[in-house]
Structure 1
């Protein structure tokens, strides 16, 4: 140990709130088993050197490294919790082991979004690993920025040593296979050191021609032992047998398991916590109840030599039956305006007509197969093709094929969908299908668990739409849980708790009851205005697609309609609606809203939303093609007819017109001129307000110029997100990253509000971000004065507004524009304005 009498002040390696070690959500770190230290919840994506020194250890997976300061203090810096599971993905090391580094130098860069989505926590640790020679002194600060003074390291007066030396010649050794996920990284190495320090024997770990003392954290990590590697442990001393047993247990027992636990009836996968299966959240929620396993249709072996004609007729009849069932489902979805559900089952209908699928099944029948086995094999072959492509989107679409496999098999076998559920049941399955979900929802299942599946699958979309908590990718172990066992499904955190205590059950019930009471309280005040604590009024309107939805919005306390999607009048028909039909439909929405204003968006079709009676050329990039106002330029008679219908509603003063997909001022000026001409033709003295949707970055950047000629601006965050981030929001692999709280989006929103304010115009948000309670204070702080949300969220968003101070929101929101990712913004929002 050289130069260890020098005290040292460390600079912060990351920016963010500072946490005491005991508050870290990991038992090993929090217990101090690795040493004393502090933690930072990072807001940036680069780890910097806290002092001058040498890199003496780098984790194989790039998520951690250790620096030896010039005074001899050794500091482990560990990014995130459970980040070893990423196996290096999302981490980019900027230094190598043995490198000399300077204070402030970038040591590694990491993907904040990836770590946040796939790991337990972003909280990062700075641990003093040789505390026998040094002690740590926190500076008592709550938050730091990179480079600011962070904590002090001082040398101890005398280094602690073992009080007795064990000179016994007794020896014991054993071979053991390491079972820790990711191998001997920081946390398992700490447990091994802690086990070794409990005995007087000297213990060493041997691997690949090298060895290290078991009580040396750096030595154990430096061996580079991976998961599944076999190591040899040697112990010498009086208590060598006991020491060996403890070390073998520490090497082979997953973190979080209790020592000497009895064998379970069936194996379960654990993460850092025994009795918990970890998956991925597909739809949030917290529920408890009995877990019931659901299995699909299984077929006995096919003897073959069937009559082809008979089997072909059976298959045709079954296909026709399933088509009829899907048509019924589609009609119900249309009636409820459940657009996503409608799109999913429309795709199923198309799959049933797929010639490759039908030809394969028919060919097998011609060769003597039963219709059941021919259909099953044709589906499985197509699934293998999709899975073989190695793309998540196609793998998840294979689930739709399996849905059709099950439905047609049931029709062929004359079996109805039967799965009787007790009240409050949670259902597990290898992978549920969209049809299963609709049936389970109708039977009042309270939660869903799947061994496989994805968070962007059609089942996940439907589960979110129905508010049904759902966790996917739990692994096959979920299918081994005994039927009827009471569990807790914490879907928001992707957890299935297999053996919750009575206290945990009671806690879940308390949380759900509290949520229910709060929702009721919010609903009771839904018709009251939304005003911040310091007196700023925020209008909370509703997004609707029909007069029926407008009626629901009115009953739920909407201050108006912030977005009427007029496409509902134009789709699923052979001819365009005439002027009279349109006028009646728009008038019905105004009538449903009493005295409140209604913003009606002109038709937004084209590109990816085709109309049967409006043939348009195929486009390589439909989302970048003829959409919204661009279509009106090509087919001006459509917009003219719609504007005429809108100008005939009464009272016209309550009608506001909104133009979609505007990207330049001339487009707005052209429509304003045409609107003025129509008002003159109809001899109208009142002209409705004309607004512009901010959906493309160009519109946000031109907000000040647009506001000079528009009466209001309305931000469509869904399209604005995908155009700004260059990510298709329907892409299975990217959808989770299309987050409107990305700092780039917030900058565009801020610029829009600033540009509108220069001309005294108001700004609303009608995209999905308006319905996100976490985003409410940010939008208020950036200058948005109207939020248009789902009708059922009006009460919640109004309640959120009433608990805010606009001045405080303005102050803190500006700082969010400088953060590095949507994840960092969400974490900061949760700290500044926690959701209770």
Structure 2
């Protein structure tokens, strides 16, 4: 008889990255319907036994085998997803039913390439099929090698005994918090998610206070700032693993560029006194006029108490589920439209809805006979007061996310429609708007937003900038006393809300709006025409895109082609790399969307700070200077090989140009050219596509002439070139505003690139953010750039700008700019030489 009380450690049956079941791209396995367990994305071709035992089942198609361990635990080992459909093709079972197997004994072998190309995914499962009798506890969620400890299996009737007493091993450590702005909602959600991956109780300690890592509110309430030193303590079977994961998560900042856009000041130091004007802080720029429309906060009737707790709890759960569905729909839309800001904000909202500090407090109120509406309201208010009392302006702003959830859940509880009746063109005034409010108001066509409270770094401010809605915050309580419907002028750039503009001022603002709209319409009407300077020099104005839908938008907006297709969209947010056919179809869809125009496709640019779940890479002290771009392709050539095979299959091939990122020397280019030639020969392709090099490190700019000898074109990535040249991280909150690609040093590198390319008669494009800046258009043309790759919505604007210029004048004046002392001086001179409308 098996000894059911014996604890068992299972070893890794495969080598590769480890995934929780929730991350497995299969609904049945992910739901736990087949039992508890874990998954591995395999890098080897043999499945080994995770323990000693007896084979009790072998799948007919040889893709799965079940072993009963000596303590009675039954472990299903399932190689890949939907592999049953291969009918054994590519599999070789090495054992049969009733065989006794030892720990580490090979169970089956498979053809990695053959199976990988024909199944849904190679992600493989280790499932405890009799989970009712046993519990599994992960030992690690990092990449493993065959034979390394993977899971603890414990009989359920011994779980209580095993977790009594001291609670298991303890571990603690200290770390400086790297997250910009400290531990606010999004990084707190990351810490919570990290802690939940381990079987241990984890806490954060700071400034004499502590909070459990499973509580977003508790973590935010510690008021931990950027570079504050915190202590982490963990207790339980996985204390050491949890500690290391948490220390790493705290020390690694989230990729985030909001701070580059947000004004430094979050509140006016002193309000100027000016009759008929309220002064605030610009959260999103713009100048608009319209009727003021005030939104009032929701109010609840008095609660007499004595409600049935069970009934109220049921009502409360239904409301929470309804709001979860709403937020899930918002997240899906944000992901579909590649809106990273929206996605991050509402993912944090979803995590807050699971926060035990919030839910426990509400449930305690309900247990005391309080109505669900008031219980939820009181729970949120208490946490908001706590955040407001931390003394941190950033955390006080994050309380706005809690108020958003308060409002959403109350509406679900009260049955009120989730709609404001706001007229299009109105300027909305409120105490403080929430992210959900903003999305709805934007869809209803409001002209601008103003708030009595709020901050310029809030989530609402981020969304307003993304939607192009002028927004003022911190205007003061007087805003809420203004009569409904009065005409106002919102001058967000000047930080002013003009309450009593005269007819002349309203006409002036209206004229500016009309002129701006007329100019946009005129630009759009000519967007499909070529962009030629006044002396007849043609400039290609193409688009930066990340999908076929964005390519279609670019084509509709008049793009002359695609100047940069970022292929990372195919590789992220998944558990396995896309195969050749999936890549080919995606690239073909972009070519098809662009009519007869050419498409420049950049090979995968991940690594360093942009990690893939299925491509484990070592942690790097300076990821921006590490294994990324073409360097990753050298380390993992099979990734680039598959991508090149897919690119070489698109039709017509002459419309496809390949762009190589992060090239620093000629040999890297020659190596890829040679590999493309080999693949063309192997695939019977006689026409090789053009191959270009991204100029995004100073070394490439300095060697532009040598690179141009072997490249068909050069494309300057000004975003990375700026940060590498200026030694300033473009995501650094304190430095981002100074990372300006119009710095004279950058302009010298651009000039050098164009001169080097001209020696070999190669053309030069710019695909960085500088190409989308109309102030920079004459400078780039003057230095020798002949292609500008911009965001799709700016095609018409940049083409219009090109048509106003004379190339000879641009060349003469641009040379003078190289002698100036700063980016600010260059911008000032550009405004003088080539004023913007």
> TM-score by structure 1 length?
0.63
Q: Which moved more, 1:594-603 or 1:289-298?
A: 289-298
> What is the aligned residue count?
576
Residues 525 and 393 of structure 1: CA distance in aligned 2, closer, same or farther (over 3 Å): same
Residue 769 (1) aligns with residue 755 (2):
no
Partner of 2:424: 423
Runs of 5+ unmatched residues, structure 2 = 1-259
What is the DSSP-based 3-state SS (H/G/I as helix, E as strand, rest coil) of the residue aligned with 1:658? strand
Partner of 1:674: 675
| Superimposed CA distance per residue, residues 672-702 of structure 1 (whole angstroms, 9 cap, x where no aligned partner) | 3322221221122221122222334444444
Q: How does 1:785-796 map to 2 (within 5 A)?
A: 785-796=786-797
Task: Measure how far apart 1:542 and its partner are.
Answer: 0.8
Residue 658 (1) aligns with residue 659 (2):
yes
| Superimposed CA distance per residue, residues 123-177 of structure 1 (whole angstroms, 9 cap, x where no aligned partner) | xxxxxxxxxxxxxxxxxxxxxxxxxxxxxxxxxxxxxxxxxxxxxxxxxxxxxxx
Q: How does 1:22-171 map to 2 (within 5 A)?
A: none
Partner of 2:466: 465
Q: How does 1:723-738 map to 2 (within 5 A)?
A: 723-725=724-726, 727-730=728-731, 735-738=736-739
Partner of 2:133: none
Contact 2:729–2:736, Cα closer than 8 Å, also in 1: yes
* C-alpha separation in 1, matches of 2:710 and 2:834: 36
Partner of 1:343: 344
Residues 610 and 404 of structure 1: CA distance in aligned 2, closer, same or farther (over 3 Å): farther
What is the DSSP-based 3-state SS (H/G/I as helix, E as strand, rest coil) of the residue aligned with 2:497? strand
Q: How does 1:690-701 map to 2 (within 5 A)?
A: 690-701=691-702
* C-alpha separation in 2, matches of 1:270 and 1:414: 44
Contact 2:263–2:457, Cα closer than 8 Å, also in 1: no
Partner of 2:32: none
Partner of 1:635: 636
Contact 1:743–1:821, Cα closer than 8 Å, also in 2: yes
Contact 1:297–1:410, Cα closer than 8 Å, also in 2: no
Residues 530 and 410 of structure 1: CA distance in aligned 2, closer, same or farther (over 3 Å): same
* C-alpha separation in 1, matches of 2:390 and 2:756: 47
Task: Measure how far apart 1:632 and its partner are.
Answer: 2.5
What is the DSSP-based 3-state SS (H/G/I as helix, E as strand, rest coil) of the residue aligned with 1:341? helix
Partner of 2:757: 756
> TM-score by structure 2 length?
0.63
* C-alpha separation in 1, matches of 2:747 and 2:457: 25
Residues 813 and 440 of structure 1: CA distance in aligned 2, closer, same or farther (over 3 Å): same
| Superimposed CA distance per residue, residues 111-131 of structure 1 (whole angstroms, 9 cap, x where no aligned partner) | xxx9x9789xxxxxxxxxxxx
Partner of 1:443: 444
Q: How does 1:249-260 map to 2 (within 5 A)?
A: none
What is the DSSP-based 3-state SS (H/G/I as helix, E as strand, rest coil) of the residue aligned with 2:493? helix
Contact 2:489–2:506, Cα closer than 8 Å, also in 1: yes
| Superimposed CA distance per residue, residues 56-101 of structure 1 (whole angstroms, 9 cap, x where no aligned partner) | xxxxxxxxxxxxxxxxxxxxxxxxxxxxxxxxxxxxxxxxxxxxxx
Partner of 2:548: 547
Residues 529 and 617 of structure 1: CA distance in aligned 2, closer, same or farther (over 3 Å): same
Residue 410 (1) aligns with residue 411 (2):
yes
Contact 2:561–2:598, Cα closer than 8 Å, also in 1: yes
| Superimposed CA distance per residue, residues 624-659 of structure 1 (whole angstroms, 9 cap, x where no aligned partner) | 554333332333222211110000111211111112
Contact 1:393–1:732, Cα closer than 8 Å, also in 2: no
Residue 535 (1) aligns with residue 536 (2):
yes
Contact 1:542–1:560, Cα closer than 8 Å, also in 2: yes
| Superimposed CA distance per residue, residues 513-547 of structure 1 (whole angstroms, 9 cap, x where no aligned partner) | 22222222222221221121233321100112222
What is the DSSP-based 3-state SS (H/G/I as helix, E as strand, rest coil) of the residue aligned with 1:346? helix
* C-alpha separation in 2, matches of 1:365 and 1:705: 73
Q: How does 1:188-203 map to 2 (within 5 A)?
A: none
* C-alpha separation in 2, matches of 1:608 and 1:647: 29
Partner of 2:648: 647
Contact 1:393–1:733, Cα closer than 8 Å, also in 2: no
* C-alpha separation in 2, matches of 1:515 and 1:602: 38
Task: Measure how far apart 1:769 and its partner are.
Answer: 2.0
Task: Measure how far apart 1:580 and its partner are.
Answer: 1.2
Contact 1:392–1:733, Cα closer than 8 Å, also in 2: no
Task: Measure how far apart 1:306 and its partner are.
Answer: 6.1
RMSD: 3.4
Partner of 2:742: 741
Task: Measure how far apart 1:602 and its partner are.
Answer: 1.5
Residues 431 and 355 of structure 1: CA distance in aligned 2, closer, same or farther (over 3 Å): same
| Superimposed CA distance per residue, residues 42-65 of structure 1 (whole angstroms, 9 cap, x where no aligned partner) | xxxxxxxxxxxxxxxxxxxxxxxx
Task: Measure how far apart 1:372 and its partner are.
Answer: 4.3
Partner of 2:567: 566
Residue 503 (1) aligns with residue 487 (2):
no
* C-alpha separation in 1, matches of 2:364 and 2:707: 61
Residues 752 and 307 of structure 1: CA distance in aligned 2, closer, same or farther (over 3 Å): farther
Partner of 1:816: 817
Task: Measure how far apart 1:778 and its partner are.
Answer: 1.9
| Superimposed CA distance per residue, residues 568-590 of structure 1 (whole angstroms, 9 cap, x where no aligned partner) | 22334444322112112211211
Task: Measure how far apart 1:389 and its partner are.
Answer: 6.8
Larger-gyration structure (1/2): 1
* C-alpha separation in 1, matches of 2:305 and 2:728: 49
Partner of 1:799: 800
Residues 816 and 431 of structure 1: CA distance in aligned 2, closer, same or farther (over 3 Å): farther
What is the DSSP-based 3-state SS (H/G/I as helix, E as strand, rest coil) of the residue aligned with 1:513? helix
Task: Measure how far apart 1:783 and its partner are.
Answer: 2.2
Contact 2:263–2:456, Cα closer than 8 Å, also in 1: no
Q: How does 1:518-533 map to 2 (within 5 A)?
A: 518-533=519-534
Residues 777 and 375 of structure 1: CA distance in aligned 2, closer, same or farther (over 3 Å): farther
| Superimposed CA distance per residue, residues 545-600 of structure 1 (whole angstroms, 9 cap, x where no aligned partner) | 22222222222221110011222223344443221121122112112222211001
Contact 1:542–1:790, Cα closer than 8 Å, also in 2: yes
| Superimposed CA distance per residue, residues 274-303 of structure 1 (whole angstroms, 9 cap, x where no aligned partner) | 323333333333221111122333456766
Partner of 1:323: 324
Residues 607 and 402 of structure 1: CA distance in aligned 2, closer, same or farther (over 3 Å): farther
Partner of 1:516: 517
Runs of 5+ unmatched residues, structure 1 = 1-113, 120-180, 183-226, 228-268
* C-alpha separation in 2, matches of 1:510 and 1:680: 63
What is the DSSP-based 3-state SS (H/G/I as helix, E as strand, rest coil) of the residue aligned with 1:488? strand
Partner of 1:601: 602
Partner of 1:106: none
What is the DSSP-based 3-state SS (H/G/I as helix, E as strand, rest coil) of the residue aligned with 1:492? coil
Partner of 2:125: none
What is the DSSP-based 3-state SS (H/G/I as helix, E as strand, rest coil) of the residue aligned with 1:541? strand
What is the DSSP-based 3-state SS (H/G/I as helix, E as strand, rest coil) of the residue aligned with 1:459? helix
Partner of 1:205: none
